[in-house]
Chains A and B, each alone.
Chain A
């Protein structure tokens, strides 16, 4: 009913201050709710974008991530001979045998240290990741103690700027390039020649093998062949799937944290809405009596007050989302539980998060308004009219 709709809306507008304060309480809860889901979404998006659908990652069976994986040179050579591997423009197979280790580096803004991924790369590594662009400097020369660092590392850690030096693996490594990998996990890595890094870290084995498929559908052939080869103790995954799995634990943790926090906060916001709505019923008792006398049913009164409370929730939800949307401009970095390495990512607002947040705010509005609305609808008409 249009008039009831306007009646509810205008009552809120009439009590501007109370409406604003109650909606603000709800907005804060929606802000926290949206922010944490945006964080989890940003993390997942960053890691999923890191992978390419046509690339296959080979790691040791049950190792979970590159950091825990190890593939000896013999097994690496067997994988290298798979016929489904695409050939590069230089006529060489698009396969990179890589090593991943973690080191700790001192952060730029504080005297704390954080884990950073060092990736020993092969000549094909860059071609396998077309999203990577050299921002400054050049690629590390083969056979030299040179490294290039991701954008997030260059800005976030001491000694990681261009032409500076980092000491690890009992050697000093000169930073000769800075690369940008967009919003992917590579932006938080340090890359160097795998043949230099393996002896430096005394690693006799590779961590992972990455190769590009000739045809996307070849994965269905190559994966069982690799996994069923009795000489190999490895598993093959599409790169996108691999990185999705990497983000799962952290994203789940963030979502559970977000849900727990917002449930606690929302109790406060619901109580606030309830107080506002009970006050609205108390001050409008005569109005309720009048509407009932005119012939409006209990259900109509219930609907009008519930609508009012849902409006409150919607205002809070929109305000919370509005403020949360600005978080998209912020990049945060934290340690990914799965790889124990520093990962930089941004908050990400998606239509799904908008729907979830607005639904959440409407649920808060409903929860806060349902009891007062019942009270309003059940008022005795004559008693209510006497309040005029």
Chain B
């Protein structure tokens, strides 16, 4: 059976930060291929460069050298404004602290990325309704984030991430701020997005339970990417 084509292809990616006149390497010659519909989890100790790699893949940061190809687009050569446009159409974000806009309702939060498209108001409304029904929050669309639980807020954030039907979903510690039950719901939802809707997901996590939901697990330590060791199932699970 032929393997699926890689939707993300990272080649010789190097990233370092300058601090106090010194260059601190964060990622060293990272090479990675992520196939379409793959659910990849990135693990590693704090400061290992997981979030940096995720930010580079999502087009939030610029690499020192190397290449990141998402779909048929080389994103390392894009300018800041081109990256903004690219992100709007191709990337859905799921953050640890949900990052919903507190003064907007669930509906409006989900509608936000659609404001950057040319969809009509009617079409936007229909897309938002579909996304909210996908996360089972159709009855909460008029609620403000403060009126929702943590798990519900993260589900709204997931609806916001998928509403534009992006090529890629990036999730930075999506269960990091949730209780076990809510975390399970969110992970279940992400798994569903991947298996049923064919979404490609790249997730950074410290949570072994979250990592086990992924299809592929990579381990990052001191800027070097390796295949992760087998994660033992804790007894409590």
Contact = CB atoms under 8 A, between A and B. Distances in A.
Contacts of A1: 115
Contacts of B96: 388
Contacts of B32: none
B61 A3 contact: no
A294 B88 contact: yes
Contacts of B111: 3
> Which residue of A1, A3, A294, A382 has the most chain B CB atoms within 10 A of its CB atom?
A294
A1 B160 CA distance: 18
Interface in B218-234: none
B113 A295 contact: yes
B196 to A, nearest CB: 24
Interface in B72-113: 80-81, 84-89, 93, 95-97, 99, 101-104, 108, 111-113
A295 B84 contact: yes
Interface string A274-295: 0000000000001101111111
A296 B89 CA distance: 11
Interface string B103-138: 110001001110110000000000000000000000
Interface string A291-303: 1111111100000
Nearest to A287: B101
B55 interface: yes
A293 B87 contact: yes
B108 A6 contact: yes
B115 A4 contact: yes
A385 interface: yes
Contacts of B81: 297-298
Contacts of A287: 99, 101-102
A297 B115 CA distance: 12
Given A3-B108, A14-B102, A294 B97 contact: no
A10 B105 CA distance: 11
Interface string B19-63: 000000000000000000000000000000000000100101100
Contacts of B112: 3, 291, 294
A7 B58 CA distance: 25
A381 interface: yes
A11 interface: yes
A388 B60 CA distance: 16
Nearest to B111: A3
B103 A286 contact: no
> Which residue of B58, B96, B102 has the most chain A CB atoms within 10 A of its CB atom?
B102
Interface string A39-50: 000000000000
B95 A388 contact: yes
Nearest to A295: B88
A294 B93 contact: yes
A298 B116 CA distance: 13
B103 A14 contact: yes
Contacts of A296: 84, 88, 116
Given A3-B104, A6-B108, A286-B99, A293 B113 contact: no
A1 B102 CA distance: 18
Contacts of A292: 84
B115 A382 contact: no
Contacts of B87: 293-295
Contacts of A14: 102-103
Nearest to B86: A295
A229 B53 CA distance: 96
Given A294-B112, A295-B113, A382 B61 contact: yes
A290 B88 CA distance: 12
Contacts of B61: 381-382
29 contacts: A3-B108, A3-B112, A4-B115, A6-B104, A11-B103, A14-B102, A286-B97, A287-B102, A289-B99, A290-B95, A290-B99, A290-B101, A291-B101, A293-B99, A294-B88, A294-B93, A294-B113, A294-B116, A294-B160, A295-B85, A295-B87, A297-B84, A297-B85, A381-B60, A382-B60, A382-B61, A385-B99, A388-B95, A388-B96
